[in-house]
Structure 1
Amino acid sequence: MKKWIAIGLALLIVVWWIAAAPRPEIRCCVAESVAFDPSTAAAIAAVEHSADFATSLEHFRSDLPGYDDVVFLEGGTTVLVTATDGKIWSVDLATHAAQPLVDAPLMAFGIHEAPGDPNHVYFCSSHAYGEPFPGEAVGLYRLALDTRKIEPIVLEVPATLIDPDHPIVYADDDPKAPELRRDGSGAEHHRPLVVCDNLEVSEDGRRIYFSEPFSYKDTSLDDAVDEAIALPPNGRLWRHDLDSGTTRLIAEGFHFVNGVLYDLHPGQPREESVLVTQTSLFRLARFYLRGPKAGSYEVVLDGLTGMDDGMDRDASGRIWLAMFTERSPVLTWAHANAWIKPLLLRLPPQLLLRQTQRTGVIVVSPDGSKPLYAAMYKGPRLASVASAVPAEDGIYLANESLGEFDREQSGIVRLKWPQQLQ
């Protein structure tokens, strides 16, 4: 009898092991053990001011739900936010009154002004982790503020195959870079954009960079959690040229490319490199597009103490990194001991999502290499900071949640300027 019970239990374990496996795009490419650079955490700890953070938060409650990103309209009296209800909201900063402006295709994520064109903004739109939206497409979109008309800019990209062992960055003058032109020519094969996560618009307003952290179909929140555990190199960065109508691959084979920001380029006609956040690898990286290092990349900061999401510059050129959630000891240990990951990938992702952790910001030097200020927070005003957008009267913190959003957290949250950065 005991023998048959043991056999039955073994069969159940085998069936569970097979049924609970992550999708093949993740299962195939689990990263080897990762040890984070401890010097980054030490540099962040040296400028940490978490004790002052909570007292510097201002919360202006309204009907505004959780949101992913913020953009200031010309004049600075109104902001648009990409909310988790699938709408883009308008917020009057004088009264803090909020109201829906447009219903975006799918769910809007990153949003950015159009330099030199105050009547338009650009935004990314993607599936809200498995929510069905028949007839709507993932893409990069443009919103006209006067008519509230939304038009697609990029819905399809060249179809490429990632080599997981050889990440690549394409220099601007590299003729081998996959491209898809306005008339559909260029790329031998093309496919629908699967995820449009975050975006950046060049200083002259003619080029739009946008990230695709992974590109497998029918993605869900479970897959995003599995990505954070397995660290597969599924991420890409794209660029769309508004003048030529060409969409070009900038880089691929990097884990979870998310936020993007062009590097300052005084005296140069255009950007020579861009910074990207690799969110669940806790890393800030740079892709070189022009100049002597064109076609290469470098790790700027490794071992950040939180998941770096969106990023924005302040008037002094400093970069504000939004820390969606802090790097937990459990995840740090798992990355250092990759042998445990096949088991972790089969456990319910809710076990990880239930770990309430701190959220906050890290401010780094204009080149991204030196932490200048850091603060983490756990409390009733913030769920997770998805972006931190500086303004004269403070830093506006996009407040998002992967789980249930507490309605008490709804509305605008603003951080007063830290004395250390004034």
Structure 2
Amino acid sequence: MIKILNQSFTKNLKLISFHSLGLLFVLISCRTPEEIFKNQIKEPVDLPYHSEINFIKSEGDPIKQNVTISGSTLPAQDEILLQEDLGRAFVASIDGWIWKVDLSNNQAEPLIKTPLLPGGMVFHPKNKDIIYMCLSRGKEHATNTSAVPGIYELTISKKELRKIGSRVPLVDKTKEPSDGHIGIFFAKGKETKIPISKLNEINSRNVEKADDLAISRDGERIYFTEPYDHPNAILGVSIQSKQEVLTLGRNGHLWKYDLKDNTVSLMAYQYTYLDGILLEYSNGDFESSILLNELSKSRLIRLHLMGDKEGKDEIVIDGLPGFPDGMDRDSKGRIWIAIPVERSKLITWLHKHPFWKRLVLYIPESLQPVSKKTGLLALSPNGSNPLYFAMHDGSLFFLYNRGCFWKRKIISSGIPRWFQGICYNAIS
């Protein structure tokens, strides 16, 4: 009996030693996480999965089966803007260039080099020669550039870039949301307008990460999301963004630059990882509400600027199968959301067991798995009902904003025609 016990102990000791060596290897290669991420870990959170979305999920990989990639080779992209009536498209690429694409022959040419990486882009609603865009740091800009993230204006015909704003007012982060509210936001006329010219080192700070933007119908107001304001934040997936998602930090801001009176306003804060944005209208040219993605909580929320629910925020739909990014509406008012990364069951489990998050923070980025699956989700015009959902294995591209983060080449007419050819028929 003693001999058997000794053999069992020896066997288990070898097993323990093997795992100990593995753990020791991980610990040696670990990096020390920023203190802010440790402090952001709070109580357990149960993030559900929306059962209807899984029910309507398309079988197989319809994107891979139906999409043909052709045309000029372009670097990976974050945003695509189409002007099909003019036969052209504009692409924000992670090589730091805005590219112009001729839709008649699929040929692309570099238009203008931006000082930082271009992200979200929109056309001026009344001037087809003007594009507004978000610029943010890339990995190459972390320490060696004087350029500042923010909102910029591009005049296409002149190839001229002009800064709209790169500073925002300081915020009192000790204030907590009121009961019944998700975060803190200001309805129409309740925000504090500060002249951009009055911003200085005492009352304001630089924008850290300008992610996505929307412009009002009259072309006078630009709203943009800042997912978090940690120093030296960079565009795209980074160790910071992963840890922000893991810890569910409430560092998301929504800002407004008023182009008419040259002011900046804080519109919302104390939300988690604000990303994609859409403006909504009831009557006239003034936006009545704002749709936003809380990426790390895999949900869509609405802020009511005016009307019967003025001053209220609400969850529109939650339990999304991935981390929502850019949004757009089609001609029928349906909302299309890019899902760049599928939500793993591991991250869902960690939210329920926050103790383990502290250990995960120490794991090197290279050892942290990220799903390659990417998807498209269509919602009803009010955003509450899922209509279509498809996943792609990531072999062709990752879906981000209104365009795509391509691995290879641009499709001649961009995302909208895929929707027509692949998805519209499925939900019509």
Shift of 1:357: 2.9
Note if contact 1:74-1:118 (Cα within 8 Å) is conserved in structure 2. Answer: no
Offset of 1:37 from its aligned partner?
3.1
Residue 170 (structure 1) aligned to one of 151, 171, 186: 186
Gaps of 5+ in 2: 1-19, 178-182
User: Normalising to structure 2: TM-score of the pair?
Assistant: 0.85
Residues 219-230 of structure 1 mapped to structure 2, 5 A cutoff: 219=233, 221-230=238-247
**Distance 1:130-1:301 versus aligned 2 partners, 3 A rule:** farther
Q: Deviations over 1:239-281 (max 9, x none)?
A: 111111111111001111011101232x344111100111122
Q: 2:35 aligns with which of 21, 24, 27?
A: 24
SS at match of 1:226: helix
TM-aligned CA deviation for residue 36 of structure 1: 2.0
Instruction: Kindly indicate whether the alpha-carbon contact (under 8 Å) linking 1:110 and 1:198 is maintained by their aligned counterparts in 2.
Output: yes
Kept in 2, the 8 Å contact 1:284–1:302? The answer is yes
2:169 matched residue in structure 1: 158
- Which of 319, 323, 342 pairs up with 2:335? 319
Q: How far apart, CA to CA, are the structure 2 residues paired with 1:253 and 1:306? A: 22
Distance of 1:96 and 1:31 partners within structure 2: 50
Name the residue aligned to 1:139: 150
2:174 and 2:38 mapped to 1: Cα distance?
15
C-alpha distance in 1 between matches for 2:315 and 2:200? 31
1:255 and 1:185 map into 2 onto residues whose CA distance is: 26
The Cα shift of 1:202 comes to 1.0
**Deviation by residue 1:1-31 (Cα, 9 ceiling, x = unmatched):** xxxxxxxx9xx98xx69x8342233222124
Match of 1:125 in 2: 135
State the one-letter code of the partner of 2:350.
A
State the alpha-carbon separation in 1 of the partners of residues 335 and 278 from structure 2.
Answer: 9
Once the two structures are overlaid, the 10-residue window that deviates more, 56-65 or 327-336, is 56-65
Q: Contact 2:224 / 2:256 at 8 angstroms: preserved in 1? A: yes
* 4+ aligned runs moved over 6 Å, structure 1: 185-188
Alignment partners' CA distance in 1, 2:294 and 2:372: 19
Task: Say if 2:373 is the partner of 1:358.
Answer: yes
Is 1:98 matched up with 2:114?
no
- Matched residues in 2 for 1:188 and 1:297: separation? 31
User: For residues 11-410 of structure 1, what are the structure 2 equivalents within 5 Å?
Assistant: 20-38=31-49, 40=50, 42-51=51-60, 52-73=62-83, 75-129=85-139, 131-132=141-142, 133-163=144-174, 165-166=176-177, 167-174=183-190, 177-184=191-198, 189-219=203-233, 221-265=238-282, 267-352=283-368, 354-382=369-397, 384-388=398-402, 397-399=403-405, 406=407, 409-410=408-409
Q: Structure 1 pair 120/205, CA: closer, same or farther in 2 (3 Å)?
A: same
Alpha-carbon distance in structure 2 between the residues aligned to 1:255 and 1:154: 23
Name stretches of at least 5 consecutive residues in structure 1 with no aligned partner. Answer: 1-8, 389-396, 401-405
**How many corresponding residue pairs?**
390
Structure whose alpha-carbon radius of gyration is higher: 2
Structure 1 Cα separation of the partners of residues 256 and 163 of structure 2: 15
Match of 1:118, SS state, is strand
Question: Does the C-alpha gap of structure 1 residues 106 and 149 become closer, same or farther in structure 2, counting only changes over 3 Å?
Answer: same
Contact kept, 8 Å, 1:158 with 1:178, in 2: the verdict is no
Once the two structures are TM-superposed, the CA of residue 379 in structure 1 deviates from its matched residue by 4.5
Distance 1:273 1:187, change over 3 A: farther
Q: Compute the displacement of 1:56 (Å).
A: 2.1
Work out the CA distance in 1 between the residues paired with 2:269 and 2:67. Answer: 38
8 Å CA contact 2:374, 2:394 repeated in 1: no
CA distance in 1: counterparts of 2:315 and 2:176, whole angstroms:
17
Structure 1 residues 164 and 74: CA distance shift in structure 2, 3 A? farther
Distance 1:130 1:339, change over 3 A: farther
SS at match of 2:232: coil
The AA in structure 2 aligned to 1:370 is N
Q: Provide closer, same or farther for how the CA distance between residues 76 and 373 of structure 1 changes in structure 2, counting only shifts above 3 A.
A: farther
Range 128-137 or range 334-343, more displaced: 128-137
- SS in structure 2 at match of 1:45: helix
Q: State how far apart, in whole Å, the 1-side matches of 2:65 and 2:379 are.
A: 22
In 1, Cα distance between equivalents of 2:79 and 2:379: 20
Per the alignment, do residues 186 and 86 of structure 1 end up closer, same or farther by CA in structure 2, a change over 3 Å counting?
closer
C-alpha distance in structure 2 between counterparts of 1:217 and 1:70, whole Å: 28
Q: What is the Cα deviation at residue 147 of structure 1? A: 0.4
- Gap change, CA 1:187 and 1:241, over 3 Å in 2: farther
Q: Which amino acid aligns with 2:209?
A: V
